[in-house]
Structure 1
Amino acid sequence: MTNTELENTAPGNTPLFQVSAEAHVTASPNEVYATVSDLPRSGEWSVECTGGQWISGTPATVGAVFRGENHRPEEVVAWAPVVRGDWTTESEIVEAEPGRVIRWAIRDRAGRRQESVWSFEIRPADHGCVLVHQFRMGRPTEGIRGITADMDPAERQRFFSDWTAKLTEDITATVQRIKQVIEKN
């Protein structure tokens, strides 16, 4: 399958994936930002990221690079040829405004940013703030191209549907876990 054929699975400018979840957190926007921008702590709340380390740049600033350590069990979308077990990713911070937003793009093997962007956005609210966790993938990443390379159109459609459901569950669990971590302190 060519890149053009895969890109045509998402007509126009429609992203392949776009999911978000939010939670009200009883803490200040700056407290929430200090927690979620500390990406090595991700293992405390993420479904797949077990932690990691900053490998270049000033942590949590635009241009900094984080190497995430991840784990995915065998049963996750078990029929699809996705990465299982342990693996790493590299992400580059593309936006960082304390108390408001941190956004990072997953890099490909050559170190280029892909249209695979995760973020935490924070807005003030009564008695704390609202934390919004988002994921958006525009054009397919090298990983998605590899996963779907041998799929027929029906299998690709099934994969995108199943993976969207998985992402939605993960992102929802993540914001709830962050809320618990912050409010426990």
Structure 2
Amino acid sequence: MRYADGPSVHSDIHIDAPPSEVWALVTDIHLPARLSPELQRVEWLDGATETTLGARFAGHNRHPLVGEWRTVSHVVELTDERLFTWAVTDADGRFGEPVTDPAGRLATWRFELSPEAGGTLLRQSAELGPARSGVSLAIERKPEAEEAIVAARLKDLRSGIEATLNGVKDIAEGRR
């Protein structure tokens, strides 16, 4: 898989809680920072205080190979109790020219919810690109290893997604 192909990863989990309860958790932008190995903290921008279409938030990340960096995410899709999508941009220019338009995203993240067997099926997904990112920098250093670099990044993202989904499940089902 090449970076230009927009590689993606997703994982699903069944949660024994209604979509309304799961929705309240996944639209709390602070929750993933408690559950993810990479995302360290988040804060709303522009005076926003809740997840609404067009709202922006900053994410502070850490990865052993890339170090620390900040992103700015834009809520680009929001369907109550069904879909929450945010486009991640490199507003600080960590990986190239600064990008503030969500069309120039370095990744797209999504939570999808659907009722299932008296509870909720929750899917989280991430798609890389099209803008430059830490993956782009690694590929530039070793272009012959592009497929391995992309595969390693998708493996990291899957691990983070599964940690987040399991954490949401534990909270929603009262185990946390």
TM over 0.5: yes
Give the structure 2 partner of residue 112 of structure 1: 101
Question: Structure 1's 60 and 88: CA in aligned 2 closer, same or farther, altered over 3 A?
Answer: same
Give the structure 2 partner of residue 167 of structure 1: 157
Q: Does 1:134 align with 2:117?
A: no
Query: Amino acid of the residue matched to residue 125 of structure 2?
Result: Q
Question: Structure 1's 89 and 173: CA in aligned 2 closer, same or farther, altered over 3 A?
Answer: same
User: Matched residues, percent identical?
Assistant: 26
Question: Structure 1's 164 and 34: CA in aligned 2 closer, same or farther, altered over 3 A?
Answer: same
* Cα displacement (A) at 1:49: 1.4
**Partner-residue secondary structure (3-state), 2:58:** strand
Query: 1:20·1:135 contact (CA, 8 Å) conserved in 2?
Result: yes
Task: After superposition, give the CA deviation of every residue in 1:117-143 in whole Å (9 maximum; x if it has no partner).
Answer: 001100001121111000112424344
Give the structure 1 partner of residue 77 of structure 2: 95
**Partner-residue secondary structure (3-state), 1:39:** coil
Q: Does 1:68 align with 2:55?
A: no
- Give unmatched runs, 5+ long, in structure 2: 92-98
Query: What are the residue-to-residue correspondences of 1:4-15 with 2, within 5 Å?
Result: 9=2, 14-15=5-6
* Cα displacement (A) at 1:115: 5.1
Q: Which has the larger radius of gyration?
A: 1
Q: Does 1:83 align with 2:63?
A: no
- Give unmatched runs, 5+ long, in structure 1: 1-7, 75-81
* Alpha-carbon separation, structure 1, partners of 2:156 and 2:69: 18
What is the root-mean-square deviation in Å for CA atoms of aligned residues?
2.1
Query: 1:47·1:174 contact (CA, 8 Å) conserved in 2?
Result: no
* TM-score after normalising by structure 1: 0.79
Give the structure 1 partner of residue 18 of structure 2: 28
Query: 1:40·1:54 contact (CA, 8 Å) conserved in 2?
Result: no
* Cα displacement (A) at 1:69: 2.1
* Alpha-carbon separation, structure 2, partners of 1:36 and 1:42: 8
Query: 2:87·2:108 contact (CA, 8 Å) conserved in 1?
Result: yes
* Alpha-carbon separation, structure 2, partners of 1:39 and 1:10: 27
Query: Amino acid of the residue matched to residue 37 of structure 2?
Result: V
* TM-score after normalising by structure 2: 0.83
* Cα displacement (A) at 1:58: 5.6
Question: Structure 1's 10 and 149: CA in aligned 2 closer, same or farther, altered over 3 A?
Answer: closer
* Alpha-carbon separation, structure 1, partners of 2:2 and 2:33: 33
